[in-house]
């Protein structure tokens, strides 16, 4: 018997669907802080050394949790207990209720119909309101100390994760997710991500307020149904 070859592009186990309606979300039980996602992003988009569109935040560094180094972190958090060292890939999650879009005074930031949050560089004035509004630290201002930005005292042009929109439009997953060795960056619909986390025995990590910002009230319900 000949094994049937897949007809579409090969996607990582963490990438369940791409394109319109996609969501990006981390699995903190799987992240090992290897930095592979950061490298993949920089290599794919040729970013400068000082510009990281993904930042891996590590909490309680060096502290082992009651269940070991990398297990049951979200359950421990819900129980009000020490989860131990926890690493979390922070990037633009292309939020349904994006605070950055709400506060942008020039409409440089937009929530597009296909779900991506985009930046129009020509409209960005470097006010950094988006940086203050985003609870996930996604906006970056790599040119804030250079050229005209320094002369006029602005933040320069904002830069952030694009969700690898061109790759997704070609049926590929975001570079960070495709190259994640532990499939800690999940890409798919809200329902697909919620189901995958449940299958893995992982929680959603963020509180209810953050989940409604990322997914909207209706889609955040997928995660509450799985608790």
Q: What is the DSSP string of 39-93?
A: HHHHHHHT--TT--S-EEEEESTTPPBTTBTTS-HHHHHHTTS---SEEEEE---
Tokens of 15: 């990438």
Task: For residues 115 and 20, give the distance between their C-alpha atoms in angstroms, rounded to a whole number.
Answer: 6
pLDDT at 63: 77
Give just the sign of the alpha carbon dihedral 60, 63, 65, 71: positive
Q: How many CB atoms lie within 10 A of CB 209?
A: 10
Q: What is the pLDDT along the chain (227 residues), one digit of tens a residue?
A: 444 444 455 678 899 999 999 999 999 999 999 999 999 999 999 988 778 899 999 888 877 766 555 567 777 777 777 778 888 999 999 999 999 999 999 999 999 999 999 999 999 999 999 999 999 999 999 887 776 666 666 778 999 999 999 999 999 999 999 999 999 999 999 999 999 999 999 988 899 999 999 999 999 999 986 66
Burial-class residue 75 by CB neighbours within 10 Å (0-12, 13-18, 19+). Answer: middle
Q: What's the start-to-end Cα distance of the chain, in Å?
A: 42
Task: Give this prediction's pTM.
Answer: 0.87
Residues facing 117 on adjacent strands:
111
Residue 220's SS3 state is: helix
Residue 110's SS3 state is: strand
The H or E element containing residue 119 is strand 117-119
Task: For residues 152 and 218, give the distance between their C-alpha atoms in angstroms, rounded to a whole number.
Answer: 43
CA atoms lying within 13 Å on the CB side of residue 37: 31
């Amino acid at each position: 018997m000949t094994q049937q070859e897949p007809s579409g592009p090969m996607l990582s186990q963490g990438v369940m669907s791409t394109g319109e309606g996609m969501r990006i979300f981390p699995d903190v039980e799987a992240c090992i802080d290897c930095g592979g996602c950061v490298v993949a992003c920089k290599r794919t988009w040729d970013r400068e050394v000082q510009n990281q569109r993904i930042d891996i935040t590590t909490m309680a560094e060096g502290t082992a949790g009651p269940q070991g180094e990398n297990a049951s972190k979200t359950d421990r958090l819900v129980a009000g207990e020490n989860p131990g060292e926890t690493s979390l890939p922070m990037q633009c999650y292309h939020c349904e209720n994006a605070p950055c879009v709400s506060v942008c005074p020039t409409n440089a930031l937009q929530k597009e119909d296909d779900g991506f949050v985009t930046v129009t560089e020509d409209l960005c004035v470097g006010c950094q309101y988006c940086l203050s509004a985003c609870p996930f630290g996604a906006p970056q201002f790599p040119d804030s100390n250079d050229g005209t930005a320094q002369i006029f005292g602005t933040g320069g042009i904002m830069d952030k994760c694009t969700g690898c929109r061109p790759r997704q439009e070609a049926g590929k997953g975001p570079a960070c997710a495709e190259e994640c060795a532990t499939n800690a960056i999940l890409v798919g619909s809200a329902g697909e991500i919620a189901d995958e986390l449940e299958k893995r025995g992982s929680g959603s990590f963020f509180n209810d307020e953050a989940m409604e910002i990322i997914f909207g009230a209706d889609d955040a319900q997928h995660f509450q149904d799985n608790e």
